[in-house]
Copies of this chain bind each other. A is one copy, B any other.
């Protein structure tokens, strides 16, 4: 059986994929993959997502330079979620210029921003 056939794609043919820093373990982001993007991710060992808003493959870093080298790919028990161990080029995963997209923490019923912007997004996407 093809390993891609074991994945339980959702109604839109997608699966959520989580990128975790392979050294610190910090969760950097979650995005979506379709069959083609997961296959490309495994072939290149670089994260290739499927952008739902743009409706096309999104080779992470193609415009920002912030590629993700993939060290490991895991599938969960229900086969409907992927976790990747990645090496984040530039140390910035988030489009806001932060290390991680998870830069807000719940504190006293408020989402508190805990992380600094490492690079101005205008510079990243210029």
Contact = CB atoms under 8 A, between A and B. Distances in A.
Contact of A83 (B3, B27, B42): B27
A106 B24 contact: no
A3 B111 CA distance: 7
Nearest to A16: B16
Given A74-B105, A102-B74, A102-B76, A81 B30 contact: yes
Contacts of A101: 76-78, 81
A89 interface: no
Interface in A69-110: 72-78, 81, 83, 94-96, 98, 101-106, 109-110
Among all A-B residue pairs, the 5 with the closest Cβ atoms:
A25-B25, A73-B106, A76-B101, A74-B102, A77-B101
Interface of A: 2-3, 6, 16, 18, 20, 24-27, 29-30, 42, 72-78, 81, 83, 94-96, 98, 101-106, 109-111
